[in-house]
Amino acid sequence: MGALPQLSESRSSVQPSKDHGPVIEEIQGLIKVCKDGHVERLPAVVDVPCTWAPEPDVASKDVAVGHGGLWARLYVPRVQTQKLPLLVYFHGGGFCVGSAAWRCYHEFLARVASQAPCVVLSVNYRLAPEHRLPAAYEDGLATVRWVRQQMSHRAADEPGWWLAHCDFARVFLGGDSAGAAIAYNVAAQLGSFGVPESALLKPACLRGMVLIQPFFGGVARTSSEKNLVQSSRSALSLTSSDCYWRLALPPGADRDHPWCNPMAKGSPKLEDLRLPPALVCVSELDILRDRNMEFCKAMRRAGKSVEQATYAGVGHAFQVLHNYHMSHARTTEMLTHIRAFIYSR
C-alpha cells in the first residue's frame, strides 16, 4: 500500500465545484467541502471486500451493528486453541475520511488479528462534516452496547458465529489517530457513567486501550506542531489537522473543546474518570508527538496506568500507509507491543 497524497495544504480555495459553488474547505487528495454543504471524498485509498485475505489464517466478515446503518468488519483467526481477546477498533482519518473497508486498514487489522492474536471488530462510524462530533463517539458507545447485546448469542451460524471465539473477560478499545480519540472518549464515557451504564461491559471486562498516535488538539501549539516540518510523505500536517478539526467539531467550537482536548480546563478531570490501562503509541516524526507525550504525563499524574511506546524515524499513520523507510520494521515493533500489552492484562 503506497502513501496517501500529501495532506498538507489548504484551508480553502475559490475553484468552483459543478452545481455546488466554491470549495470552502479542502485537504488535497482527500476531501472537498463546498459552500452549499456538498462533500466530495476522493478515492485516495481503494476499498477491498472482506473476502480478500491478506493473512490466510484470518477470516473476515462484515456485520451490521444495530439497525442504524452502522457496520463493522470482523477479523477472526482460523486456528485457535483458546478463546481470544476482543479488540474493538476505530480507523483514523481526522473524523472526516477513512473506512473500515480501506485496504490499508484491512491489511493492518488482519495482521493484528493474526499476530496478537485476537478477534478484531473494526467499526465504520459516521464521518464529519455531515455528522460532526459527538456522532463518532456516539457510534463507538453504540458499538459497545451492541457487543454487550450480542454476548447472549452463542450460535455457531450467522450472525453470532464469531462470539464463541471471544474471551469477554478481555475486551480492549483501540484505534489510530481520530480512531484513538474515539477509543479514549468511549472509555471516558464508560468511566463516568452511573451504575447502569458502567455495567455495559459486564460480564465482559474492559481491560485496556490501545491508542495509536491519538488525534487530540488544543489552541496552544506544542513544539512538535510548530517545529516539525512535514515532508510529502506525511499523512498529517498542521494545516490539515486544523482543517479536520474545523470540519469535525461543532460550529464555533475551538480546539480546547473537550471533544478535542482531553487536557483542557473544561474537560472532565482525568482523576475523576475510571479509565483502563492504556498503551499509547507515539511516532517520533509526527506533529502529534508532543501532544501525545503530554497526554501520557497527564494520565500518570492522574494515577492512571500508561505504557508509552515511541517509534523512531517514522511519522503519523506509518503502520497503515508504509510512508517511511522504517515503516515495516516499526510496524513489526508495534505489533509486538500490542500483543504484549493485550496479553499482560
pLDDT digits (tens, 9 = 90+) for 7-25: 333 333 334 456 888 999 9
Report whether pLDDT(168) > 80. yes
DSSP secondary structure of 194-246: -HHHHGGGSSS-EEEEEEES-----SSPPHHHHH----TT-S--HHHHHHHHH
Q: In the predicted model, what is the mean pLDDT of the chain? A: 90
**Residue 193 has what pLDDT?**
61
pTM metric for this prediction: 0.92
d(CA 143, CA 189): 13
Report whether pLDDT(262) > 50. yes
Report whether pLDDT(70) > 50. yes
pLDDT in tens, 290-323: 999 999 999 999 999 999 999 999 999 999 999 9
Residues in Cβ contact with 111 at an 8 Å cutoff, skipping those fewer than 6 apart: 54, 55, 331, 335
- Percent of the chain whose predicted confidence (pLDDT) is above 70: 89
Q: Average pLDDT in the 238-256 region?
A: 97
d(CA 194, CA 197): 6
The structural architecture, per CATH, of the domain 48-344 is 3-Layer(aba) Sandwich (3.40)
Report whether pLDDT(109) > 90. yes
Q: Catalytic amino acids?
A: 177, 286, 316
Predicted confidence band of residue 1 (pLDDT cuts 50, 70, 90): very low
Reading the block at residue 309, the C-alpha cell is: 511506546
- Percent of the chain whose predicted confidence (pLDDT) is above 90: 81
Predicted confidence band of residue 178 (pLDDT cuts 50, 70, 90): very high
Report whether pLDDT(4) > 90. no
**Residue 154 has what pLDDT?**
57
